[in-house]
Every structure is written in C-alpha cells, then in structure tokens.
C-alpha cells in the first residue's frame, strides 16, 4: 500500500485554500493578507514540479506564509477547541481506558479527524457526533493491529510521532496501552515549530504527555510531516535508534512514504483527500492501521 506520494494537480487548490484559511486565522489587514498569498504563489510556482513530493511543496509554501504572517501559532484557538472537544469525549466515554489495543487504535484514528483547513474535510461540523457514531459502529479498513502489537512487544525502543492537537489526548490513552504491552524505551516526536493544528513541545506539555514517555524529541524546523530536509540532528538520530515508529496522521504518512523500507513503521491515519485515496486504493474516510516493514 505504501507508495511515493508526489504532488497532484488536486493538491494545488487544497494548498491555496489552506493558505487562505491561515490568512483568516491570522486576522491581518488586507494588504498583509495579499502579500502572504502572493508569497505563497511565488513559492508554489518555483516548487511545483511533476515528481516532487507533495509534502515538500507544501512545507515550502507554508514556511513562506507563516513568515509573511509573523511566524505565530496561527491555529492556537483551533488547538484549544480540539483539546476541549477531546476532553469532553474522553469524559463521556469513561470506558476508553479499558478498551483493547485495536479499539484504542481506532479511537485515536477517528480523532485524527480533528483537523482544520483541509479542503473537503471540515472538522468544525459535527465532529463530536461523528466521533460517537464511528466509535460505536466504525471499523479499521486496514487492520494490522495484531502485527503492530506483536512488533511493539518485541521492541527495545519505540517511537511515536504525534499529529494534531485534540487527537493527541487519545494518543495519550494509546501510549498508556503501549506501556502495558512491553518493556521498552518510548520516544515521543513533536513538531519543532507551529504548523497547522499539529502538536508542538508546549502543546504536548500542556496535556501532560511528557509524563507518559521516556523522552520527547522535537522534529526540527517548521515543516509539513516528517521533512528530512528540516529534521534536527537529534530527531534524525532518534528515528534511527527505534525498532518501530508509530506514525499518526496523513501528512506523516505522505512524508514517510519517501523512506518506505528504511524503517519499521506503523501508519495510523484517516484518509482525508482524493490524491491519497487514489494512491493507496481506499476511499476518503477510511481508517488505516498499516504495518510497513524495513527491507
């Protein structure tokens, strides 16, 4: 299933739609917003090449947009909203901690829908009701959870790459489950700088995930997914150390597909767009728990 995910024509309107969304979030004057969009178009023009990975193009565009808009945490209010929705749902489903490994994985993937600014995927609309329904009747469209659990139990070091805020509270429940599976060093990877609704070091500390792991490693400079161009030396070394990487979210899947075969990776994500759907052969909305082994 894992493929090399190059830029797709449909990525362009989605990318620019997110830029427009970020300009709105920044609440800047028209001139500043115009300059940010102009900068995005300039970078897109220079980066848009047939065989270039989509996450690489997206990283360069959004790095330019964030710089144009002042390098702030543009999604701060959305992060807080996501965390509050997640807390409400965890309180409502008191039995989450007693779920088996597979259902905890499913819950964390359903929570991957707490995302903002993805064209055709709008997190604000009925997310709580959808979560309740999917957790009750939903399933994993790709279910390698037994293989993943078995690999975790035999590992000495396991890495876990976080994705979105809100979702990360459900990741915390899954991290507790991992602790019960085996005796290994657990390393948590977070974004090194604000990008989208993704979890940074301060976001992670706010919800206490640092207390559930042995080490927390920032991935490096601002980038979409795991962009090896912008990884810190420490995060690269930590990725090389682990026996298994659990990768949350579609952007991490897209970026790590470039190095498929170099790491043992468990991909846990929701399919949110048509280009990814076409490449992996599962429809938008599918829940994926896929194990990919090192060559």
What contacts 154, CB < 8 A, 6 or more positions away? Answer: 182, 243
Same domain, 130 and 82: yes
What CATH number is given to the structural domain containing 58?
Answer: 1.10.8.380
Q: Is residue 84 part of a domain?
A: yes
Indicate if the alpha-carbon torsion angle 81, 200, 149, 291 is positive or negative: positive
Task: Say yes or no: 110 and 37 in one domain.
Answer: no
Are 43 and 88 part of one and the same domain?
A: no
Give the pLDDT of residue 4.
60
pLDDT of residue 97: 87
Query: Does some domain include residue 223?
Result: yes
Same domain, 100 and 35: no
What pLDDT is recorded for position 5? 83
The confidence score (pLDDT) of residue 42 equals: 98
pLDDT of residue 119: 46
pLDDT of residue 52: 94
Domain count, the chain: 2
Please list the pLDDT of the chain residue by residue as tens digits (295 residues).
555 688 999 999 999 999 999 999 999 999 999 999 999 999 999 999 998 999 999 999 999 999 999 999 999 999 999 999 999 999 998 888 899 999 999 999 999 887 765 544 455 557 788 888 899 888 999 999 999 999 999 999 999 999 999 999 999 999 999 999 999 999 999 999 999 999 999 999 999 999 999 999 999 999 999 999 999 999 999 999 999 999 999 999 999 999 989 999 999 999 999 999 998 999 999 999 999 999 9
Domain assignment of residue 5, yes or no: no
- Tell me, what's the pLDDT at 122? 53
Same domain, 265 and 221: yes
Beta-sheet pairing, 287-292 with 265-270: antiparallel
Q: Is residue 3 part of a domain?
A: no
Host H or E run for residue 86: helix 76-92
- Reduced to 3 states (helix: H, G, I; strand: E, B; else coil), residue 118 is strand
C-alpha 159/C-alpha 139 separation (Å) is: 25
What CATH number does residue 93 fall under?
3.40.50.10880
The predicted structure's pLDDT at residue 59: 98
Domain that holds residue 54: 10-69
């Amino acid at each position: 299933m894992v493929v090399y995910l190059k830029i797709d024509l449909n990525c362009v309107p989605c990318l620019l739609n997110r830029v427009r969304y970020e300009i709105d979030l920044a609440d800047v004057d028209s001139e500043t917003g115009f300059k940010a969009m102009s900068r995005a178009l300039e970078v897109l023009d220079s980066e848009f090449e047939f065989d270039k990975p989509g996450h690489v193009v997206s990283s360069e565009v959004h790095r330019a947009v964030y710089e144009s808009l002042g390098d702030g945490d543009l999604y701060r209010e959305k992060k807080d909203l996501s965390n509050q929705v997640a807390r409400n749902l965890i309180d409502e489903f008191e039995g989450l901690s007693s779920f088996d490994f597979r259902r905890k994985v499913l819950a964390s993937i359903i929570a991957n829908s707490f995302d903002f600014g993805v064209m055709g995927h709008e997190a604000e609309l009925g997310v709580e009701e959808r979560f309740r329904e999917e957790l009750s009747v939903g399933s994993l469209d790709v279910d390698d959870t037994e293989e993943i659990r078995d690999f975790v139990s035999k590992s000495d070091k396991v890495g876990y790459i976080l994705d979105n805020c809100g979702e990360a509270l459900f990741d915390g429940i899954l991290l507790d489950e991992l602790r019960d599976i085996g005796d290994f060093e657990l390393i948590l990877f977070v974004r090194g700088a604000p990008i989208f609704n993704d979890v940074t070091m301060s976001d992670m500390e706010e919800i206490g995930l640092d207390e559930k792991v042995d080490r927390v490693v920032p991935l490096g400079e601002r980038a979409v997914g795991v962009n090896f161009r912008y990884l810190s030396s420490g995060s690269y070394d930590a990725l090389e150390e682990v026996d298994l990487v659990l990768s949350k979210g579609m952007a991490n899947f897209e970026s790590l597909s470039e190095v498929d075969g170099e790491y043992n990776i468990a991909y846990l994500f929701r399919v949110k767009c048509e280009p990814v759907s076409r490449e992996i052969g599962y429809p938008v909305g599918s829940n994926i728990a896929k194990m990919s082994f090192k060559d």
